[in-house]
Amino acid sequence: MNSKNRNNGEKCKNVQELGPETIVAIEKARARIKKGYFLTEEDAKLRLKL
């Protein structure tokens, strides 16, 4: 990233806010990860037969 493209800590004007559904989904995912319910990359490849 070029130094003149940085916004010096100011909020970008083109970044959209997350919707409430997205926030809920992120919170649920974080809770699942804390509990240990997640797939590793290796497990995902096995499920997808890659």
User: What is the chain's pLDDT, residue by residue, as a tens digit (50 residues)?
Assistant: 444 555 555 655 666 788 889 999 999 999 999 999 888 999 999 999 98
Residue 31: how many other CB atoms lie within 10 Å: 10
* Confidence (pLDDT) at 29: 92
25 found inside a domain: yes
43 found inside a domain: yes
Contact 28, 20 (CB under 8 A): no
6 found inside a domain: no
* Confidence (pLDDT) at 28: 94
Give the pTM: 0.50
23 found inside a domain: yes
Question: Containing domain of residue 25, as a range?
Answer: 17-50
* Confidence (pLDDT) at 21: 92
Six-digit token pair at 34?
Answer: 């804390």
* Confidence (pLDDT) at 11: 59
The number of folded domains in the chain is 1
24 found inside a domain: yes
8 found inside a domain: no
10 found inside a domain: no
